[in-house]
């Protein structure tokens, strides 16, 4: 067995980001695993996120991340 370390900062960031997403007008609908990815990037102080998922792109952009690949 490999020990797993759970970082509670990611949990708190998930709650903060979910609140932000659902209080937007219109709400930004986000899947739970995408929320964890965005929260993890936020906790890690990432500047950019790479995704092709429309919902995740919208949320990441709303939070100030650079989103790649750039779509035209």
In a domain, 55, yes or no: yes
In a domain, 36, yes or no: yes
pLDDT number for residue 71: 78
Going by pLDDT thresholds of 50, 70 and 90, the confidence category of residue 3 is: confident
Contact at 8 Å (CB) between 58 and 28?
Answer: yes
pLDDT tens digits for 14-42?
999 999 999 998 999 999 999 999 999 99
Alpha-carbon distances of 35 from 1, 3, 41, 58, rounded to whole Å: 27, 23, 10, 12
pLDDT number for residue 5: 76
In a domain, 28, yes or no: yes
In a domain, 3, yes or no: no
The residue segments making up the domain with residue 60 are 8-68
In a domain, 18, yes or no: yes
For residue 14, give both structure tokens: 């998930």
In a domain, 1, yes or no: no
Number of domains, the chain: 1
In a domain, 2, yes or no: no
pTM of the predicted model, to two decimals? 0.85
Instruction: Give the single-character DSSP code of 22.
Output: H
């Amino acid at each position: 067995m490999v020990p797993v370390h759970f970082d509670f900062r990611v949990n708190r960031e998930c709650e903060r980001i979910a609140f932000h997403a659902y209080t937007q007008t219109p709400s930004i609908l986000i899947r739970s695993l995408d929320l964890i990815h965005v929260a993890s990037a936020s906790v890690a102080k990432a500047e950019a996120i790479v995704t092709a998922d429309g919902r995740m792109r919208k949320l990441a952009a709303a939070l100030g991340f650079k989103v790649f690949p750039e779509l035209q």
